[in-house]
Amino acid sequence: MSKFSLEEKSAIITGGASGIGKAISTIFAQQGAHVHILEFNTESGKQAVEEIKNTGGQANFYQCDVSNHKQVKEIISTIAKNHNIDILVNNAGIAHVGNVENTEESDLDRVYNVNVKGVYNCIYATIPKMKAQGGGVIINMASIASSVGISDRFAYSMSKGAALTMTYSVAKDYVDSNIRCNCISPARVHTPFVDGFIKKNYPRKEAEMFDALSKTQPIGRMGKPEEIANLALYLCSDEASFITGTDFPIDGGFIKLNG
Ligand SMILES: NC(=O)c1ccc[n+]([C@@H]2O[C@H](COP(=O)([O-])OP(=O)(O)OC[C@H]3O[C@@H](n4cnc5c(N)ncnc54)[C@H](O)[C@@H]3O)[C@@H](O)[C@H]2O)c1
């Protein structure tokens, strides 16, 4: 078997139909995994599955709002009837721009419900299955905002700090159950998520903002979704069997070289 193979493995990827999640779904399927995409957006979810199947991969789409506890439990139970759950990638996430004064209570709740409770919901539903089958791997998509101060990202930073510390907690509690849990902390990655918040928050200054955000990475550009997906592949493969409870910045030098 070649290195980084996911043959015979089954992977749940939330928000797996756009940006980083779509790149993870695509690359995991190329490496042999049966990919289960839990995605809010029906159109893009169906399309992502069709693209994977057209290139010979195995994939299913489940319309899902990760913030809905009952729905997540039902979908993961349905998947577990016919598959092991070897890998869970908690990737679904939403953005919010604002400091504490211009973050309304509803903004905080919305970001919490998807970025924090959504991660909890999926881990909660998956852990018993992983324990019963003898192990598994969990990846949480955190951010550089989990560990450094980023202007105007109050609610988002709160949520990504929680993604980081939930990673440590789960890694510790289930190390004896052969479950590895790590997180990935990207700097800016060029996805619809970034295009969306630039368009919403900086109207008529899109090109200027895109350029400014590219330059905040010392490497001079944003990351590509595939670059994040390749790290996720490594961390979910058996080659990473000694890695748990660790945060992996992938940031073009953002954290260590911006001084
Ligand atoms: N793009 C970046 O610069 C960047 C940087 C650091 C971290 N991240 C994180 O990476 C993850 C993916 O980001 P992206 O840029 O690919 O975003 P994206 O917006 O391109 O994709 C996110 C996907 O999640 C889905 N989604 C949103 N809410 C959902 C919900 N409640 N239930 C199910 N699915 C839902 C969306 O429909 C979309 O398909 C997010 O957690 C984000 O916070 C992104």
Residue 146 belongs to domain with CATH number: 3.40.50.720
Q: What is the predicted pLDDT for the residue at 259?
A: 77
Q: What is the predicted pLDDT for the residue at 193?
A: 86
Q: Tell me: do 115 and 129 sit in the same domain.
A: yes
pLDDT band at 201 (very low <50, low <70, confident <90, very high): confident
Q: What is the predicted pLDDT for the residue at 254?
A: 97
Q: Tell me: do 21 and 134 sit in the same domain.
A: yes
Task: Look up residue 25 and give its two tokens.
Answer: 């779904």
Report CA(192)–ligand 1 centroid distance (Å): 9
Q: Tell me: do 127 and 195 sit in the same domain.
A: no
Q: Is residue 259 part of a domain?
A: no
Domain coverage including residue 69: 10-187+224-252
Q: Which residue, judged by its Cα, is nearest atom 32 of ligand 1?
A: 65
Q: Is residue 212 part of a domain?
A: yes
The mean per-residue pLDDT over the stretch 103-126 comes to 98
Quick one: the chain helix, strand, coil %, rounded to 5?
A: 55, 15, 30
pTM confidence score: 0.97
The mean per-residue pLDDT over the stretch 124-152 comes to 98
Q: Is residue 79 part of a domain?
A: yes
Q: Is residue 2 part of a domain?
A: no
The residues, ordered by sequence, that sit 6+ positions from 125 with a Cβ below 8 Å of its Cβ are 72, 73, 76, 77
Report CA(1)–ligand 1 centroid distance (Å): 32
Q: Tell me: do 200 and 117 sit in the same domain.
A: no
Q: Which residues are catalytic?
A: 156
Q: Tell me: do 120 and 245 sit in the same domain.
A: yes
Whole-angstrom distance, CA of residue 254 vs CA of residue 259: 9
**34 near 111, Cβ under 8 Å?**
no
Q: Tell me: do 59 and 175 sit in the same domain.
A: yes
The mean per-residue pLDDT over the stretch 48-68 comes to 98
Is the pLDDT at 172 greater than 80? The verdict is yes
Q: Tell me: do 137 and 120 sit in the same domain.
A: yes
Is the pLDDT at 34 greater than 80? The verdict is yes
The mean per-residue pLDDT over the stretch 36-45 comes to 98
- Please tell me the total count of domains within the chain: 2
Q: What is the predicted pLDDT for the residue at 236?
A: 98
The verdict on the CB of residue 14 being under 6 Å from ligand 1 is yes
Whole-angstrom distance, CA of residue 169 vs CA of residue 245: 8
User: Tokens 């209570």 label which residue?
Assistant: 105
Is the pLDDT at 81 greater than 80? The verdict is yes
Q: Is residue 1 part of a domain?
A: no
Q: Tell me: do 56 and 137 sit in the same domain.
A: yes
Q: Tell me: do 151 and 213 sit in the same domain.
A: no
Q: Tell me: do 207 and 151 sit in the same domain.
A: no
Half-sphere exposure of residue 85: CA atoms within 13 angstroms, side-chain side: 28
Q: What is the predicted pLDDT for the residue at 64?
A: 98
Q: What is the mean pLDDT of the chain?
A: 97
pLDDT band at 8 (very low <50, low <70, confident <90, very high): very high
Task: Look up residue 232 and give its two tokens.
Answer: 């996720």
Residue 159 Cα: closest atom of ligand 1: 43
Q: Which residue, judged by its Cα, is nearest atom 13 of ligand 1?
A: 20
User: Tokens 């997540």 label which residue?
Assistant: 72
The mean per-residue pLDDT over the stretch 197-217 comes to 92
Q: Is residue 5 part of a domain?
A: no
Q: What is the predicted pLDDT for the residue at 167?
A: 99
Q: What is the predicted pLDDT for the residue at 222?
A: 97
Q: Tell me: do 209 and 101 sit in the same domain.
A: no
Q: Is residue 258 part of a domain?
A: no
The verdict on the CB of residue 114 being under 6 Å from ligand 1 is yes
The mean per-residue pLDDT over the stretch 56-78 comes to 98
The mean per-residue pLDDT over the stretch 41-70 comes to 98
Strands 10-14, 87-90: pairing kind: parallel
The verdict on the CB of residue 23 being under 6 Å from ligand 1 is no
Q: Tell me: do 98 and 202 sit in the same domain.
A: no
Report CA(95)–ligand 1 centroid distance (Å): 8
